[in-house]
Amino acid sequence: MEKATFAAGCFWGVEARFQQLPGVIATAVGYEGGLLASPTYQEVCTDRTGHAEAVEIDFDPSKISYQQLLDEFFALHDPTQLNRQGPDWGTQYRSVVFYRSPEQEKAAKETIARLTAEKRFSKPVVTKVVPAETFWRAEDYHQKYLEKRGAVSCHI
């Protein structure tokens, strides 16, 4: 079992997409990359804590590779939008790969370089690749939010 953490805008839709993938064992939504310990949703939404809405993924690398997770990550959002996705804006909606090993860091940076070389997007990729630190699990009502409401996706 391995872990991966990504931020790609509102965490509800991001979690819903990842939990559908074979080999993804568990997902959790939360906050990463900020300065405040144990932040709440209300605090993160002020855009003053430095946290991004993120999804932590437990996956079985014998069933799905980290590269496949990266490919899904870059397909499910617009990595050229700085601090926003769709109608959501603020640093909490930024695009980030929080890597947990040198191999994850290398894969993320190589993927961005490949997408850039292929001119996959009309604008530069602004996704940050930074070390994972503390993942603060979001409040229970955010976990599996769309699933609890019978929805399969949101605006992403």
Instruction: Assign 107 to helix, strand or coil.
Output: helix
pLDDT at 150: 66
The overall pTM is greater than 0.85: yes
Containing domain of residue 128, as a range?
2-148
Element (H, E) at 84: strand 84-85
Confidence class for position 12, pLDDT limits 50, 70, 90: confident
* 123 occurs within a structural domain: yes
Look at 18-22, 36-40, 82-86 and tell me which has the smallest mean pLDDT. Answer: 82-86
Can you say how many angstroms the Cα of residue 86 is from the centroid of all Cα atoms in its chain? Answer: 15
pLDDT at 54: 97
Q: Which of 4, 7, 10, 16 is catalytic?
A: 10
Element (H, E) at 43: helix 41-44
pLDDT at 144: 82
For this structure, is 154 an active site residue?
no
* Counted domains in the chain: 1
The contacts of residue 55 (CB under 8 Å, 6+ apart) are 5, 6, 7, 8, 11, 14, 15, 18, 27, 28, 29, 30
* 134 occurs within a structural domain: yes
* 49 occurs within a structural domain: yes
Q: What is the average pLDDT across 17-27? A: 96
* 153 occurs within a structural domain: no
Q: What is the pLDDT of residues 119-131, one digit of tens each?
A: 999 999 999 999 9
pLDDT at 147: 73
Domain containing 72 — which CATH number?
3.30.1060.10
